[in-house]
Amino acid sequence: MTALPKAELHVHLEGTLEPEDMARFARRNGLALPWVTPDELRAAYSFTGLENFLAVYFAGCGVLRTRADFRELTAAYLRRAAGQGVRRAEMLFGPQAFLDHDVPIDDQLGGITDAIAEAREETGIEGALLVSAHRHRTEADALELLDLIRPWRSHVLGVGLGSAERGNPPAKFARYFAAARGQGYRTTCHAGEEGPAAYIREALEVCDVDRIDHGYTATDDPSLVSLLADRQVTLTMCPLSNLRLRVTDDLRTYPLKRLMDAGVPVTVNSDDPSYFGGYVNENYEAVTEALQLSDADVITLARNSFTGSFAPAEETAKALAELG
């Protein structure tokens, strides 16, 4: 899979924090972690669902405090991604967890954007930043986040919405997405991971987002599948995440190929690779094996990753030419 040029469109920078780095940052910042032994940490990585995972994920976020931490985290992910044939990575990042610990926004976004520039020099990978709001908080909080990142407008390509889905429908954030669009951001929304197909429709029809993160439950509503195909809305699916969070219990019934066959532009991504047992190539390999995908299917997935990205047209054309 490494030889296959691809874009990664759905990865949370916080979810690339490897256990060794979590321990190292904790030590460096003089912080204690709830897990002492490797066995305790491993036990914590056996998730029962999204909200159970998010508790561990936010505890992990707690160790990231300095500009250097964000820079090293981003650098490590981009180096690893480049090593897997990723040409472009659009990385979600949620500042609110770090603002809670009084980490200044300039340290957060400064560290990340420094690493993006350095990685471009080092390996040629194009990194882009998508700032994500937490849907378990209020829309007023999300609008406040938009104001806070305004000085970083030229460094932030788009905005998204993540965290606990059930009970927090996209429509709760309609004004957030409208404001973001008004400021020229591209938009993406987690929908249909644990939430119903109706949340995917709402993200499109009420929030008018450009892209859907996950979209796993789309096949519950055939008319929604037709809408996604007609409008060519990209779904950023994450098979190993869905398996680990018990969204699906068997990848052999994973709806990715059915959606492809229905004409929906689906892509394969890692979500939170350090927590879910695989980076982007391991996700491609898992679905290829489980769904017996052909070489042509895999190339279609890689093509979709570039056409579904928010890259400038010339960059996409160059990547597609590389795929043949």
Binding range to Zn ion, per CB under 5 A, among 35-43, 112-120, 264-272, 289-297? 264-272
Q: Whose Cβ is closer to ligand HPA: residue 126's or residue 193's? A: 193
Measured in degrees and rounded to the nearest 5, phi and psi for residue 113 equal -70, -30
**DSSP of 166-195:** TT--GGGGHHHHHHHHHTT-EEEEEESSSS
274 lies in the site for ligand HPA, by CB under 6 A: no
Measured in degrees and rounded to the nearest 5, phi and psi for residue 101 equal -100, 15
* Radius of gyration, CA atoms only, the chain: 18
- Distance of alpha carbon 41 from alpha carbon 25, whole angstroms: 15
Q: Whose Cβ is closer to Zn ion: residue 26's or residue 60's? A: 60
SS3 of residue 68 by DSSP: helix
Judged by CB under 6 A, the chain residues 211 through 270 that form the site for ligand HPA are: 241
Q: Whose Cβ is closer to ligand HPA: residue 162's or residue 239's? A: 162
272 lies in the site for ligand HPA, by CB under 6 A: yes
- Contact letters for ligand HPA, residues 41-60 (x by CB under 6 A): ---------x------x---
SS3 of residue 149 by DSSP: coil
8 lies in the site for Zn ion, by CB under 5 A: no
Token digits for 155?
């460094």
282 belongs to the catalytic site? no
3-class DSSP string for 1-27: CCCCCEEEEEEEHHHHCCHHHHHHHHH
Find out whether 125 and 278 touch, Cβ atoms under 8 Å: no
271 lies in the site for ligand HPA, by CB under 6 A: yes
- Distance of alpha carbon 195 from alpha carbon 162, whole angstroms: 12
Q: Which of 16, 108, 113, 163 binds ligand HPA (CB under 6 A)?
A: 163
Q: Where are the alpha helices (DSSP H) in the chain?
A: 19-28, 38-44, 50-61, 67-82, 96-99, 105-123, 139-148, 174-182, 197-205, 222-231, 239-244, 256-261, 273-276, 280-291, 295-307, 313-323
* Active-site hit among 126, 193, 194, 202: 193
271 lies in the site for Zn ion, by CB under 5 A: yes
**In the complex, what is the shortest distance from the CB of residue 304 to ligand HPA, in angstroms, rounded to a whole number?**
20
**In the complex, what is the shortest distance from the CB of residue 15 to ligand HPA, in angstroms, rounded to a whole number?**
5
**In the complex, what is the shortest distance from the CB of residue 237 to ligand HPA, in angstroms, rounded to a whole number?**
11
Q: Whose Cβ is closer to ligand HPA: residue 57's or residue 310's? A: 57
- Distance of alpha carbon 211 from alpha carbon 236, whole angstroms: 8
Closest residue to ligand HPA in the complex (CB): 162
Q: Whose Cβ is closer to ligand HPA: residue 15's or residue 169's? A: 15
193 lies in the site for ligand HPA, by CB under 6 A: yes
Q: Which of 6, 12, 88, 186 binds ligand HPA (CB under 6 A)?
A: 12
Amino acid at 277: G
90 lies in the site for Zn ion, by CB under 5 A: no
190 lies in the site for ligand HPA, by CB under 6 A: yes
Find out whether 234 and 266 touch, Cβ atoms under 8 Å: yes
Query: In the complex, which residues of this chain contact Zn ion (CB under 5 A)?
Result: 271
Catalytic (active-site) positions: 193
- The residues that touch ligand HPA, with contacts defined as CB under 6 A, are 12, 15, 50, 57, 162-163, 190, 193, 241, 271-272
